Structure formats: structure tokens, C-alpha cells
Structure 1
């Protein structure tokens, strides 16, 4: 028995060695499997960090684009501020943008510097005084401006008509018609403007009109030596208008700004064809009526569309501005007018003359609150047509006005704007005085 145990005894170390070898191999396999699992985890971490870096890089690019847009907007704002004050435009640079903090190390991050030159006040300084109907500077995005205004106008026109024949240059055989027409008008206007985006705005204009006219005449075919006075007046809603404006370019120091606009004028006011005319049968050739309206109209009587373009050119210390426009009156068909007694006089198709207009002006800011402007406005009115033919006695008319205006800002929300116009031609109203009070919300 002992011999057998001694005989098999050498097999035990060999078995132990074999088991050790197997255990070692198994351990190596487990270690290898563990390393592979760790490598997979590290790879996933690397992939996740790469994705985060890509996201951060995209975020940095987005931030840089936003900063570029903010820089451009700030440049425009500073230019508008300098332009309105009549100061030299500040030096602006797109390279003054700040790099986001997370893109720099604390050791490399420079101290933040202001972009451009900060405005002298928290709000925009007063713009160039508005003297024309179309403003040149658009309303800021998301801003509502309500502008109540009052316009007073006065015109006086003298007319002398000679009916007869001349025997010698100094002697006239016949009748003389002398007329003086004096017209006074007052128009209360509520204007609302709203900025939509950085380059677009909408405007609505709601007028209420009061007009009075006195006609002093010594009429023909009457043989009287006494002057007669014919008085008429009218009041009510005027023609409602809607205007859209769009800034075409960026502009800049010594670079013009262009603003295109389109205005639609309705015929909501009482027109000349709706009021009663002082005629018994027909106005043409009528000897018993004056041919004048018993009540004055408050509207033009025609729908109209007016495209135009306004430009501003800042040249320190002043700003030059102006506009060019064309107004088209739409034809009205089957028109009749009312005469005394309620009778209707059929006129047919009537088309008012189109209007070509242009103006020029110059503005100068005196300080942070006050500015003045001076300008010239001219409109050329075409002939009125009836049934495709020129109306008898219709002529082209030129209206020319010299304008002087000023503005004063009370605070960041309220300003006062006044404009005085003097007529330069016989057909132009002698006086126009306008007061506007824009209120910003």
C-alpha cells in the first residue's frame, strides 16, 4: 500500500502545476476581457468628449455670429446718434467683438473693452426735425409711435375775368368778374407707426378736417356794383392713409441711406361729387348759380397709390435728405354730382391728374434735445380728364413750398415737432403750420 502511494506521489505536483497553469491562463483571459471593457469605456468617453467639443465649437460659432450682428446693430445705432446730433461719426470696428469666456483660459482672457463709443445718453437723441410728410428715419423694431398732430392752412386767391371786347387798349366794353377766394383749413391727425424688424415699418394716418371758404365776388352778367360774399364750410373724416417703408441699404458715414415706401390713400372723406353744388340746371353756362359747392368736401374723392423713395446723406455736421414720388389717382366711372333741389348731374368718367413730387432738405442738431431743418417741396399736378378728354379750363399746376422746422425732445418718450411752410407759387397755400407730438411706447 505504501508502495502504491509513493508510486503515484509524483503525479500530484504535476496536477497542481497544470491547475495553476489553467488558472493563470483563465486569469489572463479575465484581465484581457477587463482591459477590453476599459478600452471600450475610454473610447466611449473620448467619443462623448469629441461630441461635446463639436457642440461647443458650434456654440462658439453661433455666439460669434450673434456678436457680429450685435456689433453691426450697435454701429448703426451709434451712427444714428452721431447723425442726429451733428457730431462726427465714431470709429467703429467689427474686430472689437469679445470672445466668449468659455473659449479662453483665465490667464489668456483680456479685460473687456467697450465696443465703439458709448452714446452720451441711454436713449436715442432727437432725430432731424421732420418737415415733410414722409419721415426719413424708420421706427426701431418692436416700437410703437403714436403721433397726434394739428395742421393749419390758409390760402388767398384773386381772379379777374374780363368778358367783352376792346375798342382801344385803354377802353373795355363788357363786364368784369372779380373774385377773391379765402380758404382756411384745420386738420387734426392721429398717426401710428410700428417698427417690424430692423428695416421695415408700417404707418396708418387718420385725419379729421375742418375747412372754411369765403368767396367775395362781383359776378358777370349781373351789372351790380356791390360785392357778394359766398360762404361755405365742411367738417368730417378725411382720407385715411396707410404707408409701408423699407430701408434698402445699410449706409454709413458719408454714405447715403435709401428708404423705399408705398402709400395708399383712400377716399373715406366726403368728396366734391357728394356735396350739393349751387347750380339750378348745369354749372357750365348757368347764369343763376355761383357754381360753388354749398358744403366743402373733406376728401379728394379718388383712391390713390403713391410709390416713392427717400434718401439721407450724413455729412458732418449736417444731414441732407430728400425724396422723389409719383402719385396716381384711380379713375372713377359713372360719376354724378348733386345740385340744388336734389337733382343729379351726370359727369361720366372722371380721372384726376397724377402728381409728380420731389423735395430737398438739410437738418442740423443744435444739442442733445433740439434740432432744426430747412427744405423745399414741389408738386406738379397733371390735368383732370372727363370721359377721356381734358376738362375745359384744366391746366397743369405747380405747387412749391419753402419749409422751416424744428424739434425738441422733452424726454425719452415725448418730443415736439413744428414746421412752417410758405407758398412760393400763386396756386400754393400761402401758409401751412404743423405741430406734431410723437410719443414712443
Structure 2
């Protein structure tokens, strides 16, 4: 804290040094000088109080540092601060040295992290374009035969391999009419490429049948709403509820026919086309928690997705069969957590882990009972690494790398998004 020299003793000293002869000559002049001395003394006391208040405020600002998320403004002269500059809406009226607390503007990198993990509620319209690429490589070993003498396998051995690549283009619009409510809509376009291969055609371990399938189409369009239930404070996180509906606008996987590859001898079957959607309506609900621990941001989320039953005119994959029926996909439960670290005003790094559990699907042919599809349940875990960079006040870039840690998750996912606020 800076030191200030006391002015009152100095004034009293100067007053004491006045010539006494002059004071005795004129009583009126003595009274006037005494009055002036009293006024000067009162002014010195007032200035010393103001200096102490300003020194305390300066010490608070120096201790807070440049990364502090809040600032405290105090009226040093005892007057009411300007309402347009310092008073929060709903603050009490009146003067005095009342402290007025205001939220400092968040950094651009922190805003981009909030937008990515939950919602910004910034009362703006945001248009986001993005592209992502995912790759998965799966191998399956099929044994069709029996074991003789507990050591020799007699029968057919098939080693199937599927390499799947998906390129997704996303267009997302977001709008927040209030500081607690936000709407969004997402329209994806998917281009899929899959390579199918099988070893063991015609009982030969050297015979390999291969076939590629690729196509593109619009995916499942989805829309959501976010509601801020609790606003972040010093001891509690930002709590945001979200609800989302997904429509089956993409290519349905049901009724797609599987055909024999010409060079496989009936050992390899491939689909006529690849689906770009799951074919059914879905509704999901979740909650997100975000807490700022300057300069880091902690976040976690929970979600549940329910798929509705839907009937189709054909659910068979046999080219020579047409089977009407219904499909009931298993519900999903998801969770995730992570943190983001702001390197500076424009750039931040994030690390998170997400996991999704899916129950088994069920199908029902027309006139029959529901049957469980074996192997349709899944447990997909992904470790994510992200970089968020603010290009300007309105534009930012979000890069994400996802690494699958379970067999049901894609091996790798790479994506980049460009949100633009109007």
C-alpha cells in the first residue's frame, strides 16, 4: 500500500508559526484566521479519508490481477455512482460508499468453451459450420464347424474386416432470446465409405474377397432447447437443462438389401447402400454443469435418449424377401466430464471424456412377438482433446480430436467448427 504524509499536523504547525503580534492587534483578524484554520483542518480530514479509500481500492485491484473474473467499484467521494455506468439492474437506490459488484466481460476463449459445452445465452444469433471425419476398423472371426479330438478344427474359417470412413458436414443455427433460454437446430450431411473384405472364401485361407460401398445423403435433423436453471456464483456452478428431438430424415438402415459379392463365392455379403440415419424418432434430455475456476473451466454432463417404436414396410435384408415389421432401438445413457484451460484471451485447451451406453434393440415382424437383436447393445467411450481459438469478437474456431477407448467407439474422430455470431 502507498504511504501518504499527514497534512493536519502540517497545517497546525503553519498556524502556530504566525506572528503573535499581528494576531493581538486585531481580534477580528484572529477570529477569521481561526475560522480558516478550522475549515482547512476539516478539508484535510476529508481528503485523508478519500485517500485511504482510494488506497484500499488500489490494493484490491493490484491483488486481483488481470485474470480476476469480478471487479469491485466503490464511490470514494461519498456520492452515488452513475447508474448507467456502475449500478446493476435491481440494485438498491441511495448514496454513500456502497460497493457495487459487476461481472467483468468473459474472455473470448472462455465464451467459445461455454458455447461448445452448453449454451452462451448471449441474446445473439450464431451460425456454425463444421466438418468432421471419423474412422473405424473392425475385424470379426467366424468359425463354422466343429472341433475334432480337442485339437483339430474341421469346418469353415472366415475373417471379415470392415473399414468405415464417415465425413460429416454440419450447419447449426442458435438463438438466445433471453439470458436463460436458447434454441438451436442442426442439419447434417453425411458421406460414407465402407470397405468390406473377407478371408476364407471357398475354404481357402489365401482367397480374399473385397468390395467397397459409398454414398452420401442428409442425416437426421435435430433441434434442441437449453434452459439455464441456476446461474453460476462463487459457490455453485452454472446448471443448464437441455431437451432435444431428432427426426428420421436420413436414409433408414431397415430394408436395405445385402447382396453377395461376385468374387466371394457366397462368403461375403455387402449392403446395396449405407444408411445416414437411424430411421426412428428420438428424444433426449440432459443436464450440464459448468464452473469457472480461473483460469480453468470445469464441466460435466449427463443425458438420456429414448427412441420411439416405428413400423416399416420392409425390415428384411434378404433381396428376395419383403417383411413388414417394427423396430425398437435401445435407449441410451451418456455421461461426460472434462476441463478447459485458457492460455490467453484468444486461445484455450480442453480435455474431456465421454461415454455412451446403449441397450439392445428389438424387432417384431408383422403378426409376431418382439425379438431381441443379439449384439446390438454397445458401450462407447471417447477421449477428447480440443483447441478453441477466437478469431475475432464474432468468429471462433474449435478443433477437436477424439480417440476411441472401447471397441464400439470410432477409432479416431477429427473435427473443426467455425461459429459466427451476428
TM-score (norm 1): 0.69
Superposed counterparts of 1:273-422, under 5 Å: 273-278=254-259, 288=266, 290-337=268-315, 343-387=320-364, 389-422=370-403
Q: Equivalent residue of 2:385, what SS?
A: strand
2:203 to 211, 214, 223: 223
1:347 offset after TM fit, Å? 4.8
CA distance in 1, matches of 2:110, 2:189: 27
Structure 2 gaps, min length 5? 1-63, 85-93
1:151 offset after TM fit, Å? 0.8
1:289–1:235 CA distance, 2 compared to 1 (3 A): farther
Q: Equivalent residue of 1:393, what SS?
A: coil
CA distance in 1, matches of 2:146, 2:196: 26
Bigger drift between 415-424 and 386-395 goes to 386-395
1:134 offset after TM fit, Å? 6.3
* Counterpart for residue 31 of structure 1: none
* Counterpart for residue 70 of structure 2: 90
1:92–1:378 CA distance, 2 compared to 1 (3 A): farther
1:93 offset after TM fit, Å? 7.8
Deviations 1:183-227 (A, max 9, x none): 00100000100011110000000101000000110256x323310
1:271 to 242, 246, 252: 252
CA distance in 2, matches of 1:182, 1:130: 33
1:257–1:109 CA distance, 2 compared to 1 (3 A): closer
CA distance in 2, matches of 1:289, 1:266: 36
* Counterpart for residue 60 of structure 2: none
Q: Equivalent residue of 1:346, what SS?
A: coil
Q: Does structure 2 conserve the Cα–Cα contact (< 8 Å) formed by 1:375 and 1:403? A: yes
1:127 aligns with 2:113: no
CA distance in 2, matches of 1:174, 1:309: 52
CA distance in 1, matches of 2:196, 2:374: 20
Superposed counterparts of 1:112-191, under 5 Å: 116=102, 119=105, 125-127=108-110, 130=113, 135-141=117-123, 143-191=124-172
1:86–1:146 CA distance, 2 compared to 1 (3 A): farther
Q: Does structure 1 conserve the Cα–Cα contact (< 8 Å) formed by 2:107 and 2:345? A: no
1:162–1:275 CA distance, 2 compared to 1 (3 A): closer
Superposed counterparts of 1:100-119, under 5 Å: 116=102, 119=105
CA distance in 2, matches of 1:117, 1:415: 22
Deviations 1:88-110 (A, max 9, x none): 43245899983669xxxxxx988
Superposed counterparts of 1:50-61, under 5 Å: none
CA distance in 1, matches of 2:149, 2:294: 63
CA distance in 1, matches of 2:301, 2:358: 17
Structure 1 gaps, min length 5? 1-81, 102-107, 281-286
* Counterpart for residue 64 of structure 1: none
How many residues of Structure 1 are paired with residues of Structure 2 in the alignment?
339
1:334–1:171 CA distance, 2 compared to 1 (3 A): same
Deviations 1:12-36 (A, max 9, x none): xxxxxxxxxxxxxxxxxxxxxxxxx
1:128 offset after TM fit, Å? 6.2
CA distance in 2, matches of 1:86, 1:378: 37
1:238 offset after TM fit, Å? 0.6
1:134–1:272 CA distance, 2 compared to 1 (3 A): farther
1:321–1:99 CA distance, 2 compared to 1 (3 A): same
1:167 offset after TM fit, Å? 2.3
CA distance in 2, matches of 1:86, 1:365: 13
Q: Does structure 1 conserve the Cα–Cα contact (< 8 Å) formed by 2:72 and 2:99? A: no
Displacement over 6 Å in runs of 4+: 93-97, 108-114
Q: Does structure 1 conserve the Cα–Cα contact (< 8 Å) formed by 2:326 and 2:363? A: yes
CA distance in 2, matches of 1:167, 1:234: 45
Q: Does structure 2 conserve the Cα–Cα contact (< 8 Å) formed by 1:236 and 1:270? A: yes
1:177 offset after TM fit, Å? 1.1
- Higher relative CO (CA 8 A, sep ≥ 6), structure 1 or 2? 1
CA distance in 1, matches of 2:139, 2:66: 44
CA distance in 2, matches of 1:179, 1:161: 8
Q: Equivalent residue of 2:167, what SS?
A: strand
CA distance in 1, matches of 2:136, 2:83: 64
Give 1 or 2: higher strand fraction. Answer: 2
Bigger drift between 357-366 and 167-176 goes to 167-176
1:255–1:392 CA distance, 2 compared to 1 (3 A): closer
CA distance in 1, matches of 2:415, 2:360: 29
1:175 offset after TM fit, Å? 1.0
TM-score (norm 2): 0.72
